[in-house]
Every structure is written in C-alpha cells, then in structure tokens.
C-alpha cells in the first residue's frame, strides 16, 4: 500500500482558511480601510472597491462614532491593546449588522510600534436578531403581566372598599337589630305590667259587683259601672294578647334577621380575606414580571 504524501501546513494555508471563513478588514492609523475581503464586504452590502479608503466611523452609527467610548476604543488600539467584543455596525443601507469581532494591532518588525489595525469577525446578525426578538417578547410579556397585575390590584382595592362599606352597614344593622330586640323586650315587660293591672282591675270590678248586689237598689248604679270596668278590662286583656303576639312575631323576625346578618358578616369577612389573598397574588405576579423584565434586560446586555 502506497502512503499518500502529507502536505505541510504553512502560514499561507492558514491565511487562506481565515480568508475563506472569516470577515477580514484592515485599517491604517488614520482609521481608513486599506484592505477588506469579500466576506466582510458582502456582510456590509458593499463591494471591496467601495470600501477601500472609507473611514471606520462611516460603518458606525453616529451616537457611537461621536462618543467618548469610540475615542477610547481607538486609543487603546493605538497603544497596542487588542479589542474583542460584539459590535453593532451600519451596512450600506443604513441597517444594523452585528459582528463578533476581534481588533488586533499590527506591530512593526521590531515590535515597538503599531503600524496598522486588523480585524477578523463573524456575522452574527441573524442570531442577534433572533435573540433580540425573544428578549423583546419577554419584555412585552413582563409589561403585560405588570399591567394586568396593576389592573387586578386596582379592581381588588375597589372591591375591598365596597366590601368594607357593606361590612360597616351590616355592623350597623346588627347594632340596630340589637336595639330593636331590647325595645321588644321592654314592650314585653310593659305588656306584662298592663296585663297585671288589667287582672287587678277585673278583680276589683268583680268585688264591686258583689258589693253592689249586697246593696240592692242602692248599688244598682255602682253595678253598671262595675260591669263597664269588667268589659274594659276584658278588652284590655284582648288587646294585650294581640300586642304580645305581635311583639313575639317581631322578636322572632329580629332573631331571623340577626342570624342572616351574622351570616352575611361572616361571608363578608371571608370575602375580605380572599380579596387580600388575591391582592398578594397580584403583587407576587407584578414582582415576578419585574424580575422577568430585569432578567430579559440582562440577557440582552450579555448576548
């Protein structure tokens, strides 16, 4: 079996591999482009000839090109310090292009001074756009959750105010019913007293009738009065019975209403507790939404 000759890897092989797979560009010390390969030119929407002599700032958006950070960036390169980062650049159409780039100072043969700046980069625009889209969706979701949580909290607060008003009215009704119960009991005591007086009156009328009978002719007028008193006593007794039955009916209704009011107060109390729990849940949702928004911002800054 004949062994196949192994070709030695030279610097030329490595340079060709880099040229084929990476976007490469080189600047002079005035920050103008002196060399660019097809990959970089295509990524930026230019031809290679169009880019030669173009200032680096022309590939940047104005807010960065005019910033202190931009000046510091080039100052560090002139000092011989390489820069590696994800960068945002502007293509020929004015659109964003994201690159993962490494800027490398090129030194003179003796290594004492920087004579040029080279950059190798990978186009990560699609990846960055996808990530940015996901992050933006997360932020919008967080904002939506926060908005809904705020609305839920406001509605819960309004409902809680109404429930508290109902609870206050219910409490006042309970006190009123208690007072009515006391008045009903007071009326029952009065009725009892009147009944006792009627019984005494009836007894006195009976005694008067007996005395009138003993008196004969002389007691006839007194007997008429005694009969009228007994009749009045009987009417009073009848009225007392009706009042007592009415008071007892009122007392029964008061007790029923009191039970219903007490049950309503218990339900109001449970509603208040549930609304407070719901408000706590809304607060937790709002807090989680805020944390989601913070995390999405962190992811955006990292990627």
Residue 32 belongs to what domain range?
11-123
Count of all residues that appear for the chain in the document: 303
Q: Is residue 146 part of a domain?
A: yes
Separation CA 196–CA 193 (nearest Å): 5
Q: In the sheet that 114-123 helps form, which strands lie side by side, from edge to edge? A: 33-36, 23-27, 114-123, 96-107, 83-90
What pLDDT digit, counting tens, does each position of 192-209 carry? 777 777 777 767 666 767
Q: Are 230 and 212 in contact (CB under 8 A)?
A: no
The mean of the pLDDT values for the chain is 80
Residue 4, domain member (yes or no): no
CATH assignment of the domain containing 249: 1.10.287.950
Q: Is 37 in the same domain as 171?
A: no
pTM: 0.52
Closest CA to 80 of 49, 113, 110: 113
Low-confidence stretches of the chain (pLDDT < 70) are 1-7, 202, 204-206, 208, 211-212, 215-226, 233, 260, 264, 289, 292-293, 295-303
Q: Is residue 187 part of a domain?
A: yes
């Amino acid at each position: 079996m004949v062994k196949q000759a192994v070709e030695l890897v030279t610097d030329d092989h490595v340079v060709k591999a880099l040229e084929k797979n990476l976007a490469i560009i080189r600047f002079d010390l005035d920050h103008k482009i002196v060399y660019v390969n097809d990959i970089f030119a295509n990524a930026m929407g230019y031809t290679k000839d169009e880019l030669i002599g173009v200032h680096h700032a022309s590939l940047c958006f104005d807010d960065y090109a005019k910033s202190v950070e931009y000046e510091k960036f080039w100052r560090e390169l002139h000092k011989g310090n390489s820069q590696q980062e994800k960068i945002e650049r502007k293509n020929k159409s004015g659109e964003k292009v994201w690159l993962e780039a490494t800027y490398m100072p090129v030194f003179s043969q003796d290594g004492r001074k920087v004579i040029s700046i080279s950059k190798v980069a990978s186009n990560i625009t699609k990846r960055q756009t996808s990530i940015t889209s996901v992050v933006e969706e997360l932020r919008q979701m967080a904002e939506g959750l926060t908005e809904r949580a705020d609305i839920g909290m406001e509605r819960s607060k309004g409902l809680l105010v109404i429930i508290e008003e109902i609870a206050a009215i219910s409490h006042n009704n309970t006190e009123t019913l208690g007072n009515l119960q006391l008045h009903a009991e007071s009326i029952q005591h009065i009725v009892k007293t009147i009944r006792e007086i009627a019984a005494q009156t009836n007894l006195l009328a009976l005694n008067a009738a007996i005395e009138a009978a003993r008196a004969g002719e002389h007691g006839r007028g007194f007997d008429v009065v005694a009969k009228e008193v007994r009749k009045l006593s009987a009417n009073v007794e009848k009225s007392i019975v009706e009042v007592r039955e009415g008071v007892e009916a009122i007392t029964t209704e008061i007790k029923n209403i009191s039970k219903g009011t007490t049950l309503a107060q218990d339900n109001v109390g449970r509603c208040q507790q549930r609304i407070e729990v719901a408000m706590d849940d809304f607060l937790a949702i709002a807090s989680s939404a805020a944390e989601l928004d913070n995390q999405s911002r962190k992811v955006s800054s990292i990627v």
